Amino acid sequence: MKDNNKYVFFLGGHDLEMIEIRNILDSLRIAYFDKNLKWGAKLSDYEKEITQIDSLLTIVGVELIADMIKPSNYISIDHHNELSYLPSSIEQVAKFFGGVELNRHQQLVAANDAGYIPAMKKLRATKDEIEKIRKLDRKAQGVTEKDEQLAIDSINNSLETFGNVTIVKSMTPFFSPITDRLYPNKNLIVYTDNELTYYGVHTEEIAINFQKLIEQGNAYSGGGHSGFFGLAFAKFKKQKLLDIKDEIITIVNQNETI
């Protein structure tokens, strides 16, 4: 049995999974730092706090991009990029402490984070359960009612189709209210002038094509074959982002014809 006093957690970007991880840490009285960060949170966001941690304690970073030298007493919990084969982060946290059983709500949260709506359906989630989880996830990400309306306006005003790919230029920085409204859509790109994410069945092929960007920390992927591939926020100039968008469209349409 682990000594809970020997661990300090540092929490990454907020979504419903991260909120539930925080709830588990609260229930176990585990020390943690949470700066209410957004997707793409980095280890360096906590650099000051980490340098003040006793070296005898174990530092556990949850979904933090390692953009600095990791302390020797550091453990990472994640399930993105090269770790996408692992269970969801909340499942890893539960296993980490042993004896922590996820309740029905947390099981759906884990499924949602690892495999979106299809994964929840595999748990025989009802329509009401799915809608509740997705609504709570959007709220945890910071989506407001204004963002929800902007998502509707984006779909109505800028949805296009290129071959087998649906594309929406988003008027809100939050993509989830768009993807939820367009589900099911097996090949979807949502983008702004400085961010882009592909959601669909050719995620693995796209990730392989852009592996160098992932290794550089300029892109990310997760969710396996039917998951997502995204470009790190504000890492690309507008034209470069548009070029990558077109390349993704080509990759998807080529694979659709095979």
Please, which residues bridge with residue 189 across strands?
Answer: 167, 198
Q: Average model confidence (pLDDT) for the chain?
A: 94
Fold of 145-256: Diaminopimelate Epimerase; Chain A, domain 1 (3.10.310)
Q: What is the pLDDT of residue 5?
A: 84
Q: Distance (Å, rounded) from C-alpha 124 to C-alpha 52?
A: 45
- What confidence category does residue 258 fall into, taking pLDDT thresholds of 50, 70 and 90? low
Q: How do residues 56-106 score in pLDDT, each as one tens digit?
A: 999 999 999 999 999 999 999 999 888 888 999 999 999 999 879 999 999
Q: State pLDDT tens for residues 180-192.
A: 999 999 999 999 9
Spell out the CATH class of 4-122: alpha beta
The model carries a pTM of: 0.86
Q: Which helix (H) or strand (E) holds 114?
A: helix 104-122
Give the residue from 93, 189, 179 showing the smallest Cα distance to 143: 179
Residue 145: per-residue pLDDT? 97
Domain boundaries, the chain: 4-122, 145-256
The confidence score (pLDDT) of residue 232 equals: 87
- Closest by CA to 116, choosing from 208, 189, 201, is 201
Q: Are 42 and 95 in contact (CB under 8 A)?
A: no
